[in-house]
Each structure stands twice: as structure tokens, then as C-alpha cells.
């Protein structure tokens, strides 16, 4: 942050700082920083609103506007680079009901998602959820697929969801799309994807002790012998 008017002029001339507003207060931060690093530069130390810092966990959901623009925008603080005039706040938590279920008792029927999340029928197809999603997912489309009971489509469209909560906070029908999608993906993965037979077979072999003698031999091997075995490995193409 500039200490004198002279420094301020210099920084602005260089074009190396941007002006952002953190919860209404103006800060000048170096250009090229992510919102997260800019907030830390300004003196904020995160407890909430910071997780993996890599775009995978959804902890840093941020809502912002640009000065002079009425449009509401949403993104992840750890990935989005600051822009001049950004007027921002973070979402520390999303209150949302997650249905409690025993997955082994459920089948991927047409109505199972409606049963656990009946509010999805209230969807008015306004697409507000899609506009909120920082992962660019087609949220409305997977909610619609959920209404139709097309579990596979929900699983495929929602796969990259990091459950940041922005869609749920914006939905006028008060749906929580990411919880619906989670149930759909689990049903799909457990009941609709064919199981790997070779995994079953290998587990049986291990249980029957097929590898016991060999693996013991390797455990007991001398260092030289082990190194030799290692050198002899054939690399699969």
C-alpha cells in the first residue's frame, strides 16, 4: 500500500496496482494477485474462506460486482485474479440440508432423487444456478435431468462439482443442486457402472493365499537381491 501521494502516483503510473473493495473498504493491491492473495496482502488472515488454495475444495466462494456494473458475479478467490473496481465479499458457509440415506438400500429409480430432494420439482429453469457456478457446469441441466430421473446424466454433468454452495444460495426455488448431484453420482457409481471383474478375481486370489509365499520371499530378501529384482523389472508399454 502506498505511503505517500508520490508513491501512489508512481504505482498508478506503472499500472501495477489495482483498486479493490473488500467488504466495502478500498485497498490498492498489486496486479496479478488472486483475490485470496490480495485479501491477505491487505491484511486479512483467513480462518473461513480458505481451503486448498488450488480450486478443488470450494471453501473460497466469493461474490462480487464491478464498479459501475449492476451484474452480480461469482468465482473462487484462490483462482480469480483481481480486477480494478472489484467489490467483493466471501461466502463463509452455506446452510443446506443434506438428506440422510443408507446408499446400500437405494436403487437408481426414476423417483429416488425426487424422494430425497422433493424441492427439485420447483425448478423454474431460470438458469441462475448455472450463472453462479465457478466451475462452468450446466447446473440447471443436471437439476432438470434429476427431475426426469436421468441419474446418469446428472452424474456426468455434475462431475466437476466442488460443492462451493454458490448455486444453492442463488436458487429462487431453494434447491441445493450439489447435494442432489452427490446422491445421483453415488447411485450411478455404485449401481449403474459395471463392476470390475478383475478386481474381484484378484481379491479372491489374495484371500486364497496365492501370493503369500512370493511376497514373503520379497520381504525377507537381502538388499542386493532386491536391487537385482528391481533392475530386472520389465516396463509395461
Partner 1 sequence: MEKIVRGYPESMRKSIELVEKTRDERLKHVMAESYPLIPLDQRIDILRKYHPDYRMEMKRPVKVGPNKGDLMPNEVADLLEAHPLVSPKDVDLSKIDYDTDILIIGSGGTGLAAALWAYYSGAKPEDILIATKLRLGDANSKMSQFGIQAADRPEDTPMTHYLDIMGAGGFVNDREMVKTMVMEAPMIIKWHEELGVMYDREPDGSMVEKIGGALCRKRLHFCKDYTGLEIMRNLMDEVQNLKIPILEFSPAVELVTDDKGQVAGAVLWNMETSEYHVVRAKSTVITTGGFGRLHIQGFATTNHYGATCDGVVLAYRVGAKLRDMDSVQYHPTGAAYPEAIVGLLCTEKLRGMGAQPVNKNGELFVNPLEPRDVEAAAIIRECYERNNGIITPTGMRGVWLDTPMIEIINGKGAIENNFPAMFRQFGRQGIDMRVDPILVFPTLHYQNGGVIINIKTETMVPGLFAAGEVTGGLHGRNRLAGNSWMELQVFGRRAGIYAAERAKKATLGKLTLDHVVKYERMLKEAGIKTDRKAPMILPDYRGEKVIAHTLRIF
Partner 2 sequence: MMRIPYYPGCAVQTTARNYAVSGIAVAKKLGIELVELPKWNCCGVFPSLATDDLMRHLAPIRNLIHVQEMNENGIVENEYRVVTFCSMCYHTLKEANMFLKADEERLEKINTFLEREKEYAGGIKEGYKGGVEVLDFLEVLRDIVGYEKIRENVKKPLKGLKVAPYYGCLVLRPREIGIDDPESPTVMEKILEALGAEVVNNPNKSQCCGSYHTVDRKEIVAKLTYDNLIYPIRNGAEVITTCCPLCTFNLDFRQKEARKIHKDLKEIPIMYYTQLMAIAFGLEREYYGVDLGLHYVDPKPLLKAKNLY
Residues 159-188 touching partner 1, rule: CB under 8 A, are 159-160, 162-163, 182, 185-188
* Given 133, 166, 167, 183, the residue binding partner 2 (CB under 8 A): 133
Choose the contact partner of 133 out of partner 1, partner 2, none; CB within 5 to 8 A by kind: partner 2
Choose the contact partner of 193 out of partner 2, partner 1, none; CB within 5 to 8 A by kind: partner 1
Q: Which of residues 43-72 bind partner 1 (CB under 8 A)?
A: 43-48, 50-57, 59
Identity of the residue, 50 or 157, whose beta carbon is nearer to partner 2 in the bound complex = 157
Identity of the residue, 51 or 153, whose beta carbon is nearer to partner 2 in the bound complex = 153
**Please, which residues bridge with residue 65 across strands?**
87
Site string for partner 2, 81-120 (x = CB under 8 A): -----------------------------x----------
Q: What is the 3-state secondary structure (H, E, C) of the chain?
A: CCCCHHHHHHHHHHCCEEEEEECCEEEEEECCCEHHHHHHHCCCCCCCCCCCCCCCCCCCEEEEEECCCCCCEEEECCCCECCCCEEEEECCCCCCCCCCCCHHHCCCCCCHHHHHCHHHHHCCCCCHHHHHCCCCCCHHHHHHHHHCCCHHHHHHHHCCCCCCCHHHHHCCCCCCHHHHHHHHHHHHHHHHCCCCHHHHHHHHHHHCCCCHHHHHHHHHCCHHHHHHHHHHCCCCC
* Given 30, 32, 172, 189, the residue binding partner 2 (CB under 8 A): 172
Sign of CA dihedral 151, 156, 159, 161: negative
Choose the contact partner of 144 out of partner 1, partner 2, none; CB within 5 to 8 A by kind: partner 2
Contact status: 130 vs partner 2 (CB under 8 A)? yes
Contact status: 200 vs partner 1 (CB under 8 A)? yes
CB of 172 to partner 1, least distance (A): 26
Q: Which of residues 1-40 bind partner 2 (CB under 8 A)?
A: none
List, in order, residues 6 or more apart from 71 with CB less than 8 Å away: 65
Q: Which of residues 99-138 bind partner 1 (CB under 8 A)?
A: 100-104, 135-136
- The rounded distance, in Å, linking the Cα atoms of 58 and 35 is 14
Site string for partner 2, 148-167 (x = CB under 8 A): xxx-----------------
Q: Which residues are at the interface with partner 2 (CB under 8 A)?
A: 71, 110, 123-127, 130-131, 133, 136-138, 140-141, 144, 147-150, 172
Amino acid at each position: 500500500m502506498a505511503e505517500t501521494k508520490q508513491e501512489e502516483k508512481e504505482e498508478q503510473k506503472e499500472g501495477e496496482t489495482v483498486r479493490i473493495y473488500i467488504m466495502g473498504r478500498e485497498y490498492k493491491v498489486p496486479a496479478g494477485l488472486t483475490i485470496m492473495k490480495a485479501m491477505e496482502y491487505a491484511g486479512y488472515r483467513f480462518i473461513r474462506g480458505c481451503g486448498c488454495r488450488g480450486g478443488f475444495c470450494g471453501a473460497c466462494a466469493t461474490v462480487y460486482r464491478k464498479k459501475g456494473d449492476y451484474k452480480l458475479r461469482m468465482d473462487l478467490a484462490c483462482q480469480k485474479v483481481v480486477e480494478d473496481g472489484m467489490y467483493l465479499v466471501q461466502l463463509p458457509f452455506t446452510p443446506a440440508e443434506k438428506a440422510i440415506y443408507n446408499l446400500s438400500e437405494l436403487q437408481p429409480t426414476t423417483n429416488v432423487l425426487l424422494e430425497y430432494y422433493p424441492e427439485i420439482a420447483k425448478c423454474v429453469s431460470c438458469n441462475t444456478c448455472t450463472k453462479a457456478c465457478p466451475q462452468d457446469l450446466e447446473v440447471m441441466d443436471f437439476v432438470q435431468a434429476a427431475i426426469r430421473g436421468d441419474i446418469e446424466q446428472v452424474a456426468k454433468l455434475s462431475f466437476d462439482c466442488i460443492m462451493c454452495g454458490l448455486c444453492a444460495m442463488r436458487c429462487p426455488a431453494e434447491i441445493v443442486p450439489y447435494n442432489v448431484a452427490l446422491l445421483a453420482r453415488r447411485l450411478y457409481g455404485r449401481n449403474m457402472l459395471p463392476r470390475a471383474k478383475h478386481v474381484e478375481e484378484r481379491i479372491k486370489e489374495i484371500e486364497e493365499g496365492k501370493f503369500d509365499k512370493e511376497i514373503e520371499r520379497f520381504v525377507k530378501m537381502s538388499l542386493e537381491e532386491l536391487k537385482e529384482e528391481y533392475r530386472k523389472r520389465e516396463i509395461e508399454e
